[in-house]
Amino acid sequence: MVARLIEAGFVRDPRLVEALTVVPRHLFVPHALAGEAYGDHALPVGHGQTITQAANVARAVELAGLKPGSRVLEVGTGTGYQAAVLARLAQSVFSLERVPELAASAIRLLSALGVKNVAVKVFDGSYGWREHAPYDAILVAAAAPEVPSPLVSQLKATGRLIVPVGTPARQRLLVIRRLPSGRTRTEDAGEVAYVPLVGRYGWDKSPAEGPRR
């Protein structure tokens, strides 16, 4: 899997290569799907959600430009796979998940793997987690109709927000860079397909038929 991601140009940071190699992705999917965990596609994890496609995890984390001392907010914990990857690259990770059962599963898996620098909370992630702001990077693992304004306000002066924005079926992966002046600059990192971000600054509810992230 990692070799494919490197060949596709999604991964350049050696630290990310190591994290993707070490974190056991198969533990974060239902046991019956463990054999498919290292393919480059999303897999259902229950409650209408999926584990994010490996290429999208790699792209988003690479774009975040994390350093060992980084403070990171993740919106959409799922079963905790991306949080486990982030934990190996950043000093602290704060992760929000609206589905209690998924949050509980993530906490259990991260604890079993000895991950100690990730905090998980059940909450509407579109609001962010102001208590621990500002963040060097915010990664949104679900698609929003527009950039959630609370997340931009929780970035550090040089922080980055990585968020898929568009329709429930198709989005563009945006990189919002906050500048020292307080203004922002937006870059388009390409087309992606994620499940919808449900919440106050996302979609009112998940469509009956949504994309796989």
138 located within any domain: yes
Residue 46, pLDDT above cutoff 60: yes
| pLDDT (mean) for 193-200 | 95
The CATH number of the domain where 35 resides is what? Answer: 3.40.50.150
Residue 169 has pLDDT above 70, yes or no: yes
Q: How many domains does the chain have?
A: 1
Give the Å distances, CA to CA, from 58 to 26, 54, 77, 174, 204: 16, 6, 15, 14, 28
Cα separation, 153 vs 126, in Å, equals 12
Tell whether the model's pLDDT for residue 29 goes beyond 50.
yes
Contact criterion met (CB below 8 Å) for 189 and 175: yes
Q: State how far the Cα of 102 lies from the Cα of 47, in Å rounded to an integer.
A: 8
DSSP symbol at 179 = P
Report yes or no on 197 lying in a domain: no
* Structural domain includes residue 204: no
Q: Using the predicted structure, report yes or no on whether residue 211 has a pLDDT greater than 60.
A: no
Spatial separation of the C-alpha atoms in residues 157 and 143, rounded to whole Å:
24
Domain assignment present for residue 56? The answer is yes
Residue 173 in any domain: the answer is yes
| Token couple for 139 | 């990664």
The answer as to whether 131 is a domain residue is yes
Q: Is residue 200 part of a domain?
A: no
Q: Is residue 203 part of a domain?
A: no
The Cα–Cα gap between 203 and 181 comes to 31
pLDDT digits (tens, 9 = 90+) for 93-115: 999 999 999 999 999 999 999 99
Domain that holds residue 74: 2-192
